[in-house]
Structure 1
Amino acid sequence: MPNHPVDVHVGSRVRMRRTLLGLSQQKLGDKLGLTFQQVQKYERGANRIGASRLFDISKFLDVAPSFFFEGMPSEVSKSSAGFAEPGESFEHQHLDKRETLELLRAYYKITNLDVRKRVFEVIKSIAAEYEK
């Protein structure tokens, strides 16, 4: 049976937040009394995360439980009866990659807001050159 798209989305948000905080699956698992393999299954959406477990995860990752449902693709939120299609959404293509998460983590380590804004503008201008 295919993974339910809501479970896949919630799991990807757990992975994104864990990675942004620089935590390993092992460390998250230890905090929650789980093995890293169970964390892997949650992050892939192979196993559904129960409400109380999601609440514990949200406390440890310092986000509201609603964080895990934010950005859910409209086709998933409109009809949760369907299952994940083979194609990946933008979030799964890009935000789920370690490279993207490391870039975000490094970007937010820049504490000088003027410098951070200039870095952002440089990246946008470089990207615009590739759109031509």
Structure 2
Amino acid sequence: MTHPVDIHVGKRVRQRRWLVGMTQQQLAERVGIKFQQIQKYETGANRISASRLWDIADVLEVPVSFFFEGIEGNNSTGRDKSEDMMTNREALDLVWSFYAIPAEQRRQLFELAKVLSEAA
């Protein structure tokens, strides 16, 4: 049976990999393993050893503690809303697109989004 901690750590690996714009293949090559292993780590199907997590953290340029952030605040299902949002590919693509917009237009778009969300 998959342990909730393994699932959480795997999701954090996927989240960080997406945020830095890296593919599973690229991460696997930099860590020295097959991309299928990264897939298994990200789903929690396989546990990540301490030394492998250290290597992944080094490649993704985060401290090892990053992968455990938010775990103590999760509800009984092992998930919370902010984690769901930040592991959603569409949400991450939206964030990437948002920051590609020039600063002044980005500020205006943000203000529009605030108004629209208040009206909803």
Q: TM-score range by the shorter chain?
A: 0.7 to 0.9
Equivalences for residues 26-105 of structure 1 within 5 A: 26-75=25-74, 85=77, 88-105=79-96
SS at match of 1:74: coil
Identity of aligned residues (%): 47
Gap change, CA 1:75 and 1:17, over 3 Å in 2: closer
| Structure 1 gaps, min length 5 | 77-83
Normalising by structure 1, report the TM-score. Answer: 0.77
Mapped partners of 1:108, 1:12: distance in 2: 23
Give unpaired runs (5+ residues) of structure 2.
Answer: none
The equivalent residue for 1:109 is: 100
Number of residue pairs the alignment of both structures matches: 120
Output one character per residue of 1:91-125: Cα deviation in whole Å (capped at 9) or x when no partner. 4532211111111222333463x544433332222
Contact 1:7 1:45 in 2 (8 A): yes
Relative to structure 1, the CA distance from residue 64 to residue 88 in structure 2 (aligned partners, 3 Å threshold; closer, same or farther) is closer
Query: Would the aligned equivalents of 1:16 and 1:95 in 2 still touch at CA under 8 Å?
Result: yes
Aligned AA for 2:96?
R
RMSD: 2.2
Question: How high is the TM-score relative to the length of structure 2?
Answer: 0.83
Equivalent in 93, 109, 118 of residue 119 of structure 1: 109
Amino acid at match of 1:45: G
Report 1 or 2 for greater relative contact order, CA contacts < 8 Å, sequence distance ≥ 6: 1
Amino acid at match of 2:18: T
Distance 1:100 1:73, change over 3 A: farther
* Partner residue in 2 for 1:20: 19
In the alignment, what sits opposite 1:81? Answer: none
